[in-house]
Structure 1
Amino acid sequence: MNDALESLLDLLTLEQIEEDIYRGQSRPAVVPRVFGGQVAAQALVAAGRTVPAERPPHSLHAYFLRPGDPGAPIVYTVDRIRDGRSFTTRRVVAVQHGQQIFHLTASFQAHEEGLEHQEPMPRVPDPLTLPTAAEMLPRYADRFVAEGVAERLLEARAAVDLRYVDAPPFATAGEVREPRSQVWFRTQGKLDGDTGIPRPLLDICLVTYVSDMTLLDSVLLAHGRGGWAVGDVVGASLDHAMWFHRPVRADEWLLYDQESPTAQGGRGLAKGRIFTAEGQLAVSVIQEGVIRTPRA
């Protein structure tokens, strides 16, 4: 486990300040706002702290309401909506500077046996044959809109080994491609020690954190846009939904297959499927985000 992963785990270890009220810290982000994956993962940790460990999350639905301040803590208030025989429902409101910045509703379920089927995993190269972020990002530093962007991207992703199957949008700006992006990812180190967060909640929260990193890439590819780093779009997450179908380990390789069915009205929609290395469909994701082109 590297220092960046330890720092991320510290970020997810919330301080309880009152019953069902938690406080999470933030850290500098690549853009001057709290990274959406961070606030979603922290909110899910807060919800999970009020649910028995044997009931992991099976879905979440969230709205990003305001940009978060990375220089200030975030207070998470959990509403215990329902505790049923099989399902538990929680609502979380995140507040900064007296304003709500994020809402999340999560549902938890005790394990059950039932019908099973899934879509097949796409054929992709082995992750160990692909370049790491540290190897790839410096190659494109001259394309970024400002100096230091490659370094900030590396720092923001240092806790996660993320490897693109094909070139990312910032590497092919100006080239219209199929609206599909694929990445392999896993944490930079094993999660075998005592982190203070029970598994599988920890794995699910870490996957939630990573799920917001690249999901809108497929929208950009359809229009030959390189993203905020290249300076040809302004974007932000609006809402985010996830369904956790099967157990998942964040410290083992996971394939994130992402595509965009549509973009209009200054917004883009992206869908994702997360597979285990063995081919099991573990997570489904849908997100809509603001995708605007800067005015001249």
Structure 2
Amino acid sequence: MSCILARPDRFPKTCQVFEKGSKTMKRSIIFLTILTLFLLACNSLPRPRERATAVPATPLPAAPTKTLPPPGSKESPAPGAVEALSGGGARLSTGDGLSLTLAADGQITAVTLDGDPLPIAPAPPLVVRDLTQAGADDAPNLLPNPGFESGQSGWSPLAASRVDVNVVNQTARSGSRALEIRSWEEGGRGAIISDPIPVTPDGRYRISGYFQIEFGYVDESGVPTFWQDDLYDGERMITGLYLQWLDAAGTPLSKTPQLAAALHWNAQTWRKISRELTAPPEAAAAQIIAGAKPVSGAVWVDDLVW
């Protein structure tokens, strides 16, 4: 390169190229210098990292203590405030002006809204029990002759109209006998009622039984075996289990028996229906009624439980 630059007369074109390149390089250096100064003036260039210094921790302020106003006060308690009461109870606030006072057993004894008491009524506690064996009988059967193995002993025919009510041995769920209610004319109905069984007022009882229908859910003509429009309709009986509550003098507590459990589904095979219910406070005894209203064919009943 030095020989070329020393003899420009021999390499005129080459020297012109180098001269142009030198001018371009100078311009680039000047441009970069100006750009650097501009960025420094605008604080846009990255600066060297500074060593972090520890900042002393500032302790957090203590949380305010939640307190409840005295009972009857118009002041709204703090949200979520809970106050232990003497005797094991508690008073709590939901934060929206509602305050509940609870006894030691969890019963709500007082309710206030913005300090104003609200009327409340006592209610029995909610009882939760294990339902894994809900279908099992956990008490002796109080019904005598529940499977009609002794004929109609302990039972009496009731309201037999255009049907025959008999104990038969052709169809039975268990043992050798069952109750049969067989229709010989459309619109018939029939039932059988047990002798009075002593009960405890307000006692809890379970009633259950098995039903089977000769034609399943519908008969051969396609007509429903049971008229479902009669369900819970006055004195017009439907198939199922009923209860007649009696007072201490043996007088029925109501004009018509209480429908305990209705059969309103397919029962071509033995179908169990059941219900738990509470005896009325005036009840001293109960009579179990098994009734049916077949359009045609027969209904069988077996293995009743009370």
TM norm. shorter chain > 0.5: no
TM-score by length of 2: 0.25
Between structure 1 and structure 2, the one with the greater Rg is 2
Q: Which structure features the higher share of helix residues?
A: 1
Q: TM-score, normalised by structure 1?
A: 0.26
